[in-house]
Amino acid sequence: DGPLGGFPGYDAVIQAMSGMMSVNGSPESGPVRVGTPMVDMGTGLNAVIAILMALLERERSGRGQFLDLTLYDCAVALLHPQAPNWLMSGREPAITGNAHPNIYPYDAFQTRDKQAFLAIGNNGQWARFCAAIGADGLAEDARFADNAARSHNRAELKPLLEAKLADFECDALCETLLRQGVPAGPVNAIPEVFTHPHTLHRRMRASVEGDEWEAPGIAAKLSRTPGSVRAAPPFFGNATREVLAEAGYAAPEIDTLIETGVALTERRRG
């Protein structure tokens, strides 16, 4: 419902309307669509959460209820920290590129061979980071004494850090920092992700034996009833009869559903 209720919606359009694009990108690029369909995926995840909440409540009350989710609402709910920043201060959020608006260093930095992303969230991490890269002087510099100072003076700090980081190979640097408790990671391309040892160990590259089909694996890993990828997805309508039969429909009922167009076995044109 509401002024936009009932209108068509696509991920990128809702990204634009919800303000998501306005905080993504860089000062040079202007607003940019998020590269993955965050609104579509976020709405689906919220729908699952809502269904589980309603099922749990039904166990207590014995009553069902209607679940109302929209792409727009779910996109607005994802505007963190920009939404609370504006709601509490009245200052319109600016595009900051890769950098976090409230925390620094929380940004991508060029190393000798590729970019590394650093997410230094407290003074302890800052001190360990500076020690790891041989920059103890920065840890003692009053301009960068705490997060507020580092965030305020980020324009001065970034080139100083990149001058130091130019001496380091990215993957080795990130491993060193992680072992020191400093969140850091290389900016990987998709091929690097799906050949990474951690991706393979966590079974996040799924395939079906005897089939050329591959896809990302199952992120939620249950200890007693783990999910698995058992087959490649069928073509449109290929499994209609099988699914309806599993749901308890008899063959004549399935024929009727298909003949009347309620269920489809092939994609309609037009």
- For residue 85 the two structure tokens come to 């920043």
Tell me how far apart the alpha carbons of residues 230 and 223 are, in angstroms, rounded to a whole number: 18
Q: Which of 40, 107, 136, 211 is catalytic?
A: 40
Cβ atoms of 19 and 9 closer than 8 Å: no
Cβ atoms of 99 and 106 closer than 8 Å: yes
Q: Return the SS3 of 106.
A: strand
- For residue 97, give every residue at least 6 positions away whose Cβ sits within 8 Å of its Cβ, in sequence order, or none: 25, 26, 27, 107
Total Cβ atoms within 10 A of residue 123: 14
Q: Indicate if 171 belongs to the active site.
A: no
User: What does the H/E/C string look like for 41-68?
Assistant: HHHHHHHHHHHHHHHHHHHHHCCCCCCC
Tell me how far apart the alpha carbons of residues 144 and 223 are, in angstroms, rounded to a whole number: 45
Tell me how far apart the alpha carbons of residues 16 and 14 are, in angstroms, rounded to a whole number: 5
**Which H helix or E strand runs over 107?**
strand 106-110
Cβ atoms of 81 and 19 closer than 8 Å: no
Residue 237 DSSP code: T
Catalytic residues: 40
